[in-house]
Chains A and B, each alone.
Chain A
Amino acid sequence: MYKGGKIIAALIIFVAFLTFPIFYNLGKANAGPDVPVVQQTATTQCVEPAEYMRANHMQLLNKWRDSFVQQGKTEYVNSQGKTFEISLQSCLQCHSTGTVPNAGGASIPASNTGGVSNPALNTSDQFCVSCHNYASVKPTCWSCHSGPEGATK
């Protein structure tokens, strides 16, 4: 080879970049996020079905914000005709506590890697945090609203 040293060094760097996730995850448990606890009683019911909420909660929150702030509506009628007060407190009644370490899920290694210590993310143990940290999605709710700890009063 001509200039073999440089070419092979560059290839090693390239392969190192490609295999970065393999080495980064090496020896860590693939536990998934901690499972948030829903403080649900027999009578309470979520605004929309859980499947829908999982996929579209952010859009529902945006819709709530717009209808409250721009149209002055204070109530939301869901797909089953049930009425809810448009307020974050409606959510936080049930979805306000912390998490328990993940014990189930698709892949079940023993231990849980826990939360992320990262300045960009919320490090509290509130409901939203574990999944949002896991997917690296930072909700903008708390840049205006006061934190969810007020909800438990």
Chain B
Amino acid sequence: MKALYSFLAVIVLILIATLGVNVANMSSVFGIIVPYLAFVVFVGGFVYRVIKWGKSPVPFRIPTTCGQQKSLPWIKQSKIENPTSALGVIVRMALEILFFRSLFRNTKTELKEGPYGPQLAYGSAKWLWFGSLVFHWSFLIIVIRHLRLFIEPVPFFVQMLDGLDGMLQIGLPPIYLTDLFFVVAVTFLFLRRILIPRVKYISLPADYFPLFMIFSIAVSGILMRYFYKVDIIAIKEFAIGLAQFHPVIPQGIGVIFYVHIFLVSVLFAYFPLSKLMHMGGIFLSPTRNMISNNRMVRHINPWNPVLEVHTYEHYEDEFREKMKKVGLPVEKE
């Protein structure tokens, strides 16, 4: 049901773009105004949310239990899992961001029938990690590849990536490996949500919606490349026009291009409002991005109130005469 709502929402968006361009003739709205708005909302919203997060007090260092903390000299410290140096933290964050180290530790828990009744069993579960890794890396490569439509001349690294991606040279235009991986990975991430009852139970429309959006964007892009050929030269002129703030709507471009660009715009505008912000949030993971030096360095609780300190010296200065009168000993005469 929740999946159905999200699915219908995406269908409605596709219909809006189709009808808007085909019937209402609003190609400049969908081609120019919506992408600009989406870009502003994306950048503004992203920066706003990260700054808002940055304003929360940083908690006390959380040494994670997945690595031996620095201790006695004859106990080997796990320098990456429980780092005491900035370099260790950088390596730990890089592993987290590039290779999803935490997700790699994902385990499954099952009740199994043992000889003496049900037994709790733990096992490694790497499929989610692998699926997400394929998904995210394909997505990144696809985004970088799209630079060839936005900049002229096309830099060498974009061409190289493009060449690597199509290196199998299957068909013409060559099939991009990331296109295949991407669609398979999105499908896997979706099926996982509807086929595993526990995951289905906790899945919300906000979990399905991005999956459907991304899937539709991928499909519309694939259709444009391999099936309904669009005029790539006109599209590149249009994209560069957008980047130069002199957009000119290309003539004779099929509606599928507008569907693609509209879905991308909606996804970008939706980005800062949604769970997709994990892109920025992962950098602020408190258990991952702090040096585990609780006992090596003094950390002051950031929300401690500023208190006036009244030392004994001051106290004695204030009450010295009275103390002498009643015969209390004083340190200074």
Contacts and interface: CB of A to CB of B under 8 A. Distances in A.
Contact of B54 (A3, A118, A121, A136): A3
Interface stretch (B66-74, B106-114, B144-152): B144-152
B43 interface: yes
A113 B240 CA distance: 13
A131 interface: yes
B36 to A, nearest CB: 12
Interface string B209-234: 00000000000000000000101111
Contacts of B94: none
A88 B233 CA distance: 24
B241 A118 contact: no
Contacts of B284: 7
How big is chain A's contact interface, by range? 35 or more
Contact of B243 (A22, A62, A119): A22
A24 interface: yes
B159 A120 contact: yes
Contacts, number: 118
B137 interface: no
B251 interface: yes
A33 B233 contact: yes
B163 A120 contact: yes
A2 B56 contact: yes
A30 B244 contact: yes
Contacts of A30: 152, 237, 240-241, 244, 246
Instruction: Specify the main secondary structure of chain B where it touches its partner.
Output: helix
B169 A116 contact: no
A72 to B, nearest CB: 22
A104 to B, nearest CB: 12
Contacts of A121: 159
A32 B237 CA distance: 6
Contact of A120 (B58, B156, B233, B280): B156
Nearest to B39: A18
B1 to A, nearest CB: 36
B248 interface: yes
A24 B157 CA distance: 15
A25 B153 contact: no
Given A106-B248, A119-B156, A24 B43 contact: no
B147 A21 contact: yes
Nearest to B58: A2
Contact of A131 (B46, B162, B233, B251): B233
A140 B156 contact: no
Interface in A53-75: 54-56, 58-59, 61-62
A40 B219 CA distance: 39
Given A1-B55, A58-B172, A116 B240 contact: no
B329 interface: no
Nearest to A27: B244
Interface string A1-35: 11110011011001100101110111010101100
A105 interface: yes
Nearest to B145: A136
A62 B172 CA distance: 8
B57 interface: yes
A121 to B, nearest CB: 7
Contacts of B236: 32, 134-135
A137 interface: yes
Closest 6 CB pairs of A and B: A55-B229, A21-B150, A136-B154, A58-B172, A136-B148, A116-B153
17 contacts: A2-B302, A7-B50, A11-B47, A18-B43, A21-B147, A24-B151, A25-B151, A30-B152, A30-B244, A32-B233, A59-B172, A62-B172, A106-B251, A107-B246, A118-B154, A135-B232, A136-B162
Interface of B: 39, 42-43, 46-47, 50-51, 54-58, 147-154, 156, 158-160, 162-163, 169, 171-173, 229, 231-234, 236-238, 240-241, 243-246, 248, 250-251, 280, 283-284, 302
Interface of A: 1-4, 7-8, 10-11, 14-15, 18, 20-22, 24-26, 28, 30, 32-33, 54-56, 58-59, 61-62, 105-107, 113, 116-121, 131, 133-138, 140
